[in-house]
Amino acid sequence: MLFLKTIFGLNLRRCSTMVRVLNVAEKNDAAKSLANVLSQGRSRMREGFSRFNKIYEFEYRLMNQQVSMTMTSVSGHLLALEFIGTFKSWKACNPVDLFDVPVQKYCPDNFVDIKRTLEREVRGCQSLVIWTDCDREGENIGYEIIQVCQAVKPNIKVYRAKFSEITPQSVARAVNNLGPPDPRINDAVDVRQELDLRIGASFTRFQTLRLQKLFPEALAEQLVSYGSCQFPTLGFVVERYKQVQEFIPEPFWKLKVSHEHDGVKADFSWKRNRLFNFLACQVLYDQCVENPAATVVDIKSKSKNKWRPQALDTVELEKLASRKLKINAKETMKIAEKLYTQGLISYPRTETNIFPKEMDLVSLVEAQTQDPEWGGFAQQVLDNGPNPRNGTKTDQAHPPIHPLKYTDSLQGNERKIYEYVVRHFLACLSQDAQGHETVVEIEIAQEKFSAQGLMILAKNYLEVYPYEKWNAKEIPLYYQGDQFEPNFIEIQAGETSPPPLLTEADLISLMEKHGIGTDATHAEHIETVKSRMYVGLRPDGRFVPGQLGMGLVEGYDSMGYEMSKPHLRSQLEADLKLICQGRKAKDDVLRDQIQKYKEVFIEACRQAQKLDVAISQYLGEAQPLPDNDSATGEVDFAPSIIRKCPRCGNPMTLRTKKDGKGFYIGCSSYPNCKASIWLPDFVLQASATQETCSTCGPGPVTKLQFKFKPGSVPLTIPNNYVGCIGGCDEMLTEALGIRPISGNVPSDLPRTEITSHANSAGRPTNNNTNVRPNSANIAANNRRNTPSSGAGGRNSQSAVGSSSHGNRPLNSGRQLHTRAPCDQTTSVMAGAGSINRLTVNNMNSGFGTPSNGPVGRAPSSKNSNPARGPLSSIPDSRSNISGTGRRTEVPGLSRVSAGGGGGDGAEQAIVCSCGNDAIILTVRKEGPNTGRQFYKCSGQTGESCNFFLWADQSDQSAATPGVSNPSFSRGRESFGGDGFNSTSDQAAMTNHRPSFPSGGDGGGEISCRCEIPAKSLIVQKQGPNTGRQFFACSKPRDQTCNFFQWADQVDQSSLSSAQGTSLPPWASGSKGTPAQRKRPAQGLAGSGQTKQRKPPSCGFCGQPGHRKNKCPERVDDF
């Protein structure tokens, strides 16, 4: 017992320190055979997660050290290619978009267990050896295995084993010559896979969706697929069929002479062969009959050989199995792969027909000497020495197909395929058949005739190769100058015949000749066109096209693009070979081929009616397409991809809502990314155009064609409008209620936010929650909006912002300023040099979202251009609209700040104790405060100051003097209880400028030590100065000059004198916070003047003297 414990302990220690190597084969049978060869039959088997893919363990000496080998397998391709997100849905986008949308590799559900096995096993291994087949597909499968393993263990060492047969010699040679995998071959397969997906999916979706609508009875449930290989394959069948159908036989006549001597008959053929004129043939016949004596004018006797077959490659195996054994190509390759994994034959997918000189053929022949049928011939080959007949092709990877060992236990088609490989191999190594040919030429009435005789001297390879015949033909013995009279001379009539329909072997020959597919994929493409009912197989094994196949080929041919011809695909196959050779780059080939097929697709869609007409000749009259059927009707070639998603970088597409009543722009990665832009219900139609906006990002952003419900948008936006939703078209984004939300923007994309909406409470929504805008409120706000000529402009700070903190409403508490043109003097929002200063709450950044509550309106003069608010920020070319009498609505602003009236630099951000902008968060924990928002320190400096403030408390503490939340009154404009609420107040505002930061008319402003305008802030920290306003340097924190100045300590008189005006009460702080109320107010409010009550003003235009129902500016006929 002690001895066993000691040995067991030693084994455990040895296993713990021994290097582990993971080996992965392409199939389970191959893994089993490889493990058996490497371990010499001593491997141990255990189960993996997949019951079809076992795990074999054994010890082996690798690279001069003892290692623990783990051998497992995949089942062909482990990963597949697919479109991302919603593009997998057939009706999610325009098919033309599929040429450009991102694709990704994924593991299909039936291979997940194999993937789990690899992930588990590789964790304890130090090296990975790829044992997949040594062809293009095998190299790509190897890279899929590498991708899965390196995701778990990035630093694992990777080796490639190259072998052509599972024999001890070949496997040992592969282990001793391990090298790196070939990325160029992998790139070629990646290109082929991506192109097949993009081309096939785009054409297939277009054809299927369209034709199912046009021919519902015939194609209601049928997939009308397209493939760049299957379509030329169909084209070969259709072309040959049409040649047969269009063939017109032509009659011909020829002379035949027969002579029999000593019981041996010779048939002499006419040197002219045949004539298509009966009269001419009759004349020559009459001459021969009148003078029938025949003279032997020439005798030629020579040796003649029948060539033995060349070394066997994949194409010849498929063709000969189809012709001689009556086994189709797909079944042949399936059986050949099984024989290969059993170690009976070499790798069956090869383009090589040359045996290497160093290959040991003798031992392979010796293994076949024991067979009772061909063993004797194998011994003859050994006696004479193997002498293979080589061809001219090689793929530099595998030798020709040949037997590896003898077996007599096979049955059925497996026996037939194995026997054919053996007999072909022995025939190739033997001698040509030898014979002697005699050609006798005679002359009758100056017309010459000839006969051939053949004497076989040695059959040689024909003794073991029954798949070919060479029959002897005996003729009488003739000597030159002999004369005789033939037994008869006759005229034979006949007619020309069409070429025969294609057999499977003929079709494979054409595919190989024109470069359609590879030797490994010919059978798959043929099976595809058969399964789609594009072609059928007659009882004699010849192909005929189906009705749908004929219609498709004729339809595309009528467009001028010979898509059924092999030109496009053969060019791609040539490019793939260049990639393997390193002479072309993967990206270049991918780009060129995508562009080429995309142009063909667009043109084919434009001429789709020709396809309809061609198919209707075979399937009956087509049904009319619905006018609004965008999926199957006339194809809109504007892409449905609108922009890149700023959150995940994937495309966002224009879609129709589930109820079909409205539109939205959603991320294609849904549900992984839920970013979206919901368009209001008053958008009657929306479609992508060919125009793009290069200003907005991530770009380019495709412009949209909108059709709005009349009266739902400002008058400056026509009902049919083309605009950008990326943010540069401020008026459009505000009219639609679009605002950005922050997200995790990929590093390679511009830091641009994706749009979302606020809820009815004005709180920002979660990034992954897309709340639809209240269309009624937006439309109501839009109808009250009025265009302006020059106020705000595209650079207005009220229009666009940016975000740098996740869900933070970045402009919460910030002040927005809209300036009126200098020639306006009659409106508080349009007066000379006046500034409308507003404080924005609950905006993440950007475009200004309409709030659900009513919004105040400022009056405008009937005889002057109306003021321009944030919603009216449009280009000057569209802003010269006057005389409307409308007043400006400012949507999305939940309170008005009267704390100062300066330029663009003023703001009221929530600042923590560190002096940085605080970030806003939402309580998620269940409790009384669930959903409540609060501010905290952003920790930008690396440390947190523990700042905390409820957001709803900040609304109260941040409110500026004299102004509360806006409210709307039909009789007059009211901005709270203490602010201006009459025309006299507004007139006073028109004649006064605020005492601190002012925007640009030469007014006084506070400058820091950097000699730039300072920014206005409000103390948020609880204490004696809470709510007190101050100025600070506007530069970033690490560049600030540390300037500081309390706003109520600024010399107001000096600033007002510099302007030539006195301060209004809402700019002096007379109704401010407790700290501000301690200081005497100055200006208009401090002079003792009292306000005079003005007559009631119009509830629509704000002008005194009339009521809303009699307002001359009101227009109701939208």
For residue 792, the model assigns a pLDDT of 39
| 626 inside domain | no
Question: In DSSP terms, which residues pair with 436 in a beta bridge?
Answer: 303, 455
For residue 123, the model assigns a pLDDT of 93
The full DSSP string for 71-130 is EEE--S-S-EEEE-GGGGSTTSS-GGGGGTS-EEEE--GGGHHHHHHHHHHHTT-SEEEE
**pLDDT interval class at 217 (50, 70, 90):** confident
Alpha carbon 378 to chain centroid, angstroms: 56
Residues 1076 and 1112 in one domain: no
CA–CA separation, 78 and 280 (whole Å) = 71
Q: What is the mean pLDDT of residues 1101-1107?
A: 70
CA–CA separation, 144 and 629 (whole Å) = 41
CA–CA separation, 625 and 214 (whole Å) = 7
Residues 724 and 769 in one domain: yes
Q: What is the mean pLDDT of residues 416-425?
A: 96
For residue 629, the model assigns a pLDDT of 53
For residue 320, the model assigns a pLDDT of 92
Lowest mean pLDDT among 509-518, 545-554, 964-973: 964-973
Q: What is the mean pLDDT of residues 528-542?
A: 92
Is 56 tagged catalytic?
no
Domain span holding position 1023? 967-981+989-1087
For residue 909, the model assigns a pLDDT of 64
The listed range with the strongest mean pLDDT (236-250, 351-365, 676-690) is 236-250
| 504 inside domain | yes
The percentage of residues in the chain with a pLDDT greater than 90, rounded to a whole number, is 40
Tokens for 645? 């998603």
Q: What is the pLDDT of residues 905-952, one digit of tens each?
A: 334 567 776 667 788 888 877 777 888 888 888 776 666 677 778 887
Residues 166 and 21 in one domain: yes
| 902 inside domain | no
By CB atoms closer than 10 A (0-12, 13-18, 19+), residue 344 is buried
Residues 543 and 607 in one domain: yes
Q: What is the pLDDT of residues 556-609, one digit of tens each?
A: 989 887 778 888 888 888 999 999 999 999 999 999 999 999 999 998 888 999
For residue 1037, the model assigns a pLDDT of 66
Catalytic residue chosen out of the listed positions 241, 285, 347, 664? 347
For residue 443, the model assigns a pLDDT of 93
For residue 656, the model assigns a pLDDT of 84
- Residue 1052 clears pLDDT 80, i.e. is over it: no
Residues 177 and 130 in one domain: yes
Quick one: DSSP state of residue 41? T
Question: In DSSP terms, which residues pair with 55 in a beta bridge?
Answer: 46
Which of 472, 495, 518 lies at the terminal end of a domain, its last residue? 495
What count of Cα atoms within 13 Å lies in the side-chain half-sphere of residue 209?
A: 22
Short-list 915, 956, 922, 954, CA closest to 937? 915
Tokens for 13? 């220690």
Residues 438 and 455 in one domain: yes
For residue 1094, the model assigns a pLDDT of 61
φ, ψ of residue 220 in degrees (nearest 5): -55, -40
- Residue 199 clears pLDDT 80, i.e. is over it: yes
CA–CA separation, 146 and 159 (whole Å) = 10
Q: What is the pLDDT of residues 272-310, one digit of tens each?
A: 999 999 999 999 999 999 999 999 999 999 999 999 999
- Residue 703 clears pLDDT 70, i.e. is over it: yes
Who has greater pLDDT, 977 or 188?
188
| SS3 at position 411 | coil
| 453 inside domain | yes
Residues 753 and 694 in one domain: yes
CATH label of the domain that carries residue 52: 3.40.50.140
Q: What is the mean pLDDT of residues 210-214?
A: 90
**pLDDT interval class at 500 (50, 70, 90):** very high
Which of 591, 619, 647 lies at the terminal end of a domain, its last residue? 619
Specify whether the CB–CB gap between 535 and 545 falls below 8 A. Answer: yes
Q: What is the pLDDT of residues 633-657, one digit of tens each?
A: 444 445 578 888 888 888 888 888 8
For residue 646, the model assigns a pLDDT of 83
| 962 inside domain | no
């005497």: which residue's tokens? 1080
Specify whether the CB–CB gap between 810 and 843 falls below 8 A. Answer: yes
Q: What is the mean pLDDT of residues 224-228?
A: 90
Q: What is the pLDDT of residues 81-130, one digit of tens each?
A: 999 888 888 877 888 889 988 899 999 999 999 999 999 999 999 999 99
Tokens for 142? 């190897």
For residue 205, the model assigns a pLDDT of 93
Which of 136, 155, 181 lies at the terminal end of a domain, its last residue? 181
CA angle 998, 1001, 1003 (to 5 degrees): 50
The percentage of residues in the chain with a pLDDT greater than 70, rounded to a whole number, is 70
| 38 inside domain | yes
To the nearest whole number, what is the mean pLDDT of the chain?
75
| 633 inside domain | no
């609508």: which residue's tokens? 213
């009556």: which residue's tokens? 326
- Residue 73 clears pLDDT 80, i.e. is over it: yes
The counts of H helices and E strands in the chain are: 27, 38
CATH label of the domain that carries residue 552: 1.10.460.10
Residues 403 and 545 in one domain: no
Residues 36 and 62 in one domain: yes
Residues 380 and 478 in one domain: no
CA–CA separation, 404 and 345 (whole Å) = 5
- Residue 618 clears pLDDT 70, i.e. is over it: yes
- Residue 466 clears pLDDT 60, i.e. is over it: yes
| SS3 at position 1013 | strand
| 889 inside domain | no
Lowest mean pLDDT among 131-145, 502-516, 840-854: 840-854
Short-list 96, 41, 76, CA closest to 638? 96
Tokens for 66? 């003892």
Q: pTM of the full predicted structure?
A: 0.62
Count of the separate structural domains present in the chain: 7
Residues 671 and 802 in one domain: yes
545 cis-preceded (ω within 30 degrees of 0): no
For residue 452, the model assigns a pLDDT of 93
Residues 705 and 559 in one domain: no
Q: What is the mean pLDDT of residues 706-728?
A: 87
